[in-house]
Structure formats: structure tokens, C-alpha cells
Amino acid sequence: MIRSYRSKKGNATFVYGVTGSANDLASYKEAQGTYYREDDTTGQPLWFTTRCVGENGTLIITTNGKIVPDMSKFDQAASLASQYGGNFGEELAKLTAQSILGVSSASAVEAPVAVSAPEDLGEL
């Protein structure tokens, strides 16, 4: 993800830089057609979407020539959470989402805690 912004209609829009082999990028350009855009500075192909896929994701060109994000890992996480439900399902969903989004579990779950040195208790 390079950036995000609000469209004129107020929708969140996410902008991703597209990378891949020369063949992949040529296929991407062809599939995008008149919607193909590049970064003005770097020349990197761009993909615009209203569906955030995290910091990084994978794009698929469908048999109809449409560009869509690969949401299979998100679908798997939702399926696991609904299969098990309750606290276990909720924890599975959190851990899976953190993994998909590249968030370390420690930073997402724990807040830093200040620790002070113990007081001098003198001799015992």
C-alpha cells in the first residue's frame, strides 16, 4: 500500500504499487485497459481499490480479465472463526488476521509497560 484517500463520494480508496515479472506486469496493464495508471514519479503501475487488503496483497486476473485481490486467506480466517465460535473462534480470527496483515502478535496485543526499580528495602 502506498497511500489511501477519500473519493469525492466519501469512500475510502487504497492505492497499491504493483510489482511482478515483466510478463505479469504486461498482463496487468492489458487487463486494466483504460483504467491503467502509473505513479508519475516512479512509473510503477498502480492499483486502486475500496477493499483494503493490508499492507501487501496478491492480485488475480480472472478468466473474464478483471483484476481482483486474492482474499482467500481472509475467507479462511472467517471460516475458522465461524466454525469454532466463542472465545476460541475469536482468538483464531485475531491471530489469523494479524498474520495476514503482517502485524506481530506482541505489538497488537500488548501495550508497553513502564517498570520501575524496586525500592531499597534496607538490610533484612
Q: What is the mean pLDDT of residues 24-40?
A: 96
What letter does residue 33 receive in the DSSP assignment? G
90, 80 Cβ separation under 8 angstroms: no
Q: Which of 14-18, 80-84, 98-102 is predicted with the least confidence, judged by mean pLDDT?
A: 98-102
C-alpha cell recorded at residue 35: 483504467
Whether the pLDDT of residue 104 is over 80: the answer is no
Domain segments of the chain as ranges: 3-70, 73-107
Which pLDDT belongs to residue 27? Answer: 95
What's the distance, Cα to Cα, between the start and end of the chain in Å? 59
Closest CA to 18 of 51, 60, 50: 60
Spatial separation of the C-alpha atoms in residues 26 and 45, rounded to whole Å: 10
Distances (CA, A) of 83 to 11, 87, 99: 32, 12, 19
How confident is residue 121, by pLDDT bands cut at 50, 70 and 90? very low
pLDDT digits (tens, 9 = 90+) for 43-99: 999 999 998 888 888 999 999 999 999 988 888 888 888 888 788 888 887 887 787
Q: What is the CA radius of gyration of the chain?
A: 22
Burial of 47 (0-12, 13-18, 19+ CB in 10 A): buried
Top-confidence residue, 41 or 120: 41
Mean pLDDT comparison of 20-34, 80-94, 101-115, highest-scoring range: 20-34
Residue 16's CB is within 10 A of a number of other CB atoms, namely: 23
Q: How much is the mean pLDDT over the chain? A: 83
